[in-house]
Amino acid sequence: MDTLLKNLTLIDGTGRKPVADAVIAIRGGKISYAGPASTWRNEADGESITLDLNGAYVLPGLIDAHVHLSGSGEADSQFYAPTGQMALKILSNAQKNLAAGITTVRDLGGWSELEFDVRRSIQRGDFTGPRMCLAGRFISITEAGADYYVGMYRVADGVDEVRKAVREQVKHGADVIKMGVTGAVLVESGAPGVTHFNSDEIQALVEEAKKFGKPVAMHAHGIDGIRKAVEAGVTTLEHGTYLYRDPGVIRLMAQRGVFLVPTLKVGWDIILAEKSSIPGWIMQKNVDSQGDAAKSLKTAYDAGVRIAMGSDVGTPLNYHGENALEVYWMEQAGLSKMEALVAATNNAAKALGWDSWLGTLEAGKVADLLVHEKNPLEDLRSLADKESLRLVIKDGEVAASHAGSVLPKEALAKQVLTIR
Ligand SMILES: [Zn+2]
């Protein structure tokens, strides 16, 4: 049975101009048509259900290329929970993403491999949840972060250990390999400017990951670490705080198509919080680096570097379900509204390597889409506004509907769409 959505404004995620009075046809969980009503021909052979969306805005389900499902925004960034509770925490956070229209998440540092079990449960249909792209553990040198985020880190010193650490993540089912090439902001003794891994270790990691067909997501703040990561062939650069300091590296990123995932929201949430219980060291480190991070995004963007949206939700005061505000912060740093939206749709799908079937509303892609009452291109903050988000559809099925749903009662009653 086909589902037809009509009387809508289509924002397809490619960066093309919105199409007023558009139609989207869904068959077997995939989009069979998305475009102007004037050129649509109904080729459905059997019964179909038609939903009149009354001029609502329809865009692709958002893709967040950098989350931590094991964190819930704890002010001190202490994610720890006993095993059973942690599994439930990961599931609950995953579901908050889906309900907020983040239909795909890429987790770049899970907890004791529990996120793989959660994903299996979602895939089996035991629970609803977003599509999950997983890195497993964050591969790091011996450092204090490994004691702080005890279930997240995989310490690996030396080339042989680095290779083994990659193989472990692949064994567990990782889609991407995450390495921390520099110190971290959210580790008290971490020095973001300091390079942790040596060049031979970085190259070994990238080589080992590529052998298994896995892209590499590199946590990097300082420019020396960024340079070594880009030269070694990483796919996405996470944070990139001091990237602006080397125009040569920026040019190389643009040439090679390396994505920058800037993660600005976490810093703003911490800096702008009133009366929070944020420890002083977390506040100071973010105050010190936030301007650099925004400047690096703008500089890289102007030089043609591809940008993908990553909110780093799970980190202090950066809550699951508010991810889409990262799109707004990217606009504030200098992207156009449409380009910031593309960073959370088509470009994020490319950063994951999943763009052949995900990320835009075009025929052949999976039917992950959002129905918004407000035009997100007027104010990107409406992407995170539950009053605006009416419907979340994943794989052609309704995954979440919010107050004042546009779904006709008859459709719900007939269960023509599977409500899960
Ligand atoms: Zn992160």
Tokens of 323: 């991810």
Tokens of 417: 């769409």
Ligand 1 center–CA 68 separation, angstroms: 6
> Nearest Cα to 110, choosing from 83, 141, 143, 76?
83
Predicted confidence at residue 41, as pLDDT, reads 87
User: Positive or negative CA dihedral for 178, 181, 185, 190?
Assistant: positive
d(CA 345, CA 349): 6
Ligand 1 center–CA 67 separation, angstroms: 6
Ligand 1 center–CA 134 separation, angstroms: 13
Q: Which domains does the chain have, with CATH numbers?
A: 2-61+359-414 (2.30.40.10), 62-352 (3.20.20.140)
pLDDT in tens, the chain (420 residues): 789 999 999 999 999 999 999 999 999 999 999 999 999 987 767 778 888 999 999 999 999 999 999 999 999 999 999 999 999 999 999 999 999 999 999 999 999 999 999 999 999 999 999 999 999 999 999 999 899 999 999 999 999 999 999 999 999 999 999 999 999 888 888 889 999 999 999 999 999 999 999 999 999 999 999 999 999 999 999 999 999 999 999 999 999 999 999 999 999 999 998 878 889 999 998 898 999 999 999 999 999 999 999 999 999 999 999 999 999 999 999 999 999 999 999 999 999 999 999 999 999 999 999 999 999 999 999 999 988 999 999 999 999 887 555 555 555 444 344 333
Ligand 1 center–CA 167 separation, angstroms: 21
Ligand 1 center–CA 178 separation, angstroms: 10
Cβ 395 vs Cβ 367: under 8 Å = yes
Ligand 1 center–CA 150 separation, angstroms: 15
Task: Identify the bridge partners of residue 50 per DSSP, sorted by sequence position.
Answer: 4
Ligand 1 center–CA 312 separation, angstroms: 5
Ligand 1 center–CA 379 separation, angstroms: 26
Ligand 1 center–CA 66 separation, angstroms: 6
Q: What is the value of pTM for the model shown?
A: 0.95
Cβ 234 vs Cβ 216: under 8 Å = yes
Predicted confidence at residue 418, as pLDDT, reads 37
- Strand-by-strand arrangement of the 48-60 sheet: 30-36, 19-27, 2-10, 48-60, 369-372, 389-394, 397-401
Ligand 1 center–CA 3 separation, angstroms: 38
User: Positive or negative CA dihedral for 292, 157, 65, 230?
Assistant: positive
Tokens of 120: 């299996």
One DSSP character per residue, 69-126 reads TT----TT------HHHHHHHHHHHHHHHHHTTEEEEEESS-STTHHHHHHHHHHHTS
d(CA 227, CA 181): 10
- The dihedrals phi and psi of 208, each to the nearest 5 degrees, come to -65, -45
Ligand 1 center–CA 218 separation, angstroms: 10
Ligand 1 center–CA 52 separation, angstroms: 40
Ligand 1 center–CA 184 separation, angstroms: 9
- The dihedrals phi and psi of 166, each to the nearest 5 degrees, come to -65, -45
Task: Identify the bridge partners of residue 216 per DSSP, sorted by sequence position.
Answer: 177
Predicted confidence at residue 46, as pLDDT, reads 73
Ligand 1 center–CA 231 separation, angstroms: 22
At which residue do the structure tokens 């939206």 appear? 341
Ligand 1 center–CA 31 separation, angstroms: 32
End-to-end, the C-alpha distance of the chain in Å comes to 18
d(CA 183, CA 144): 10
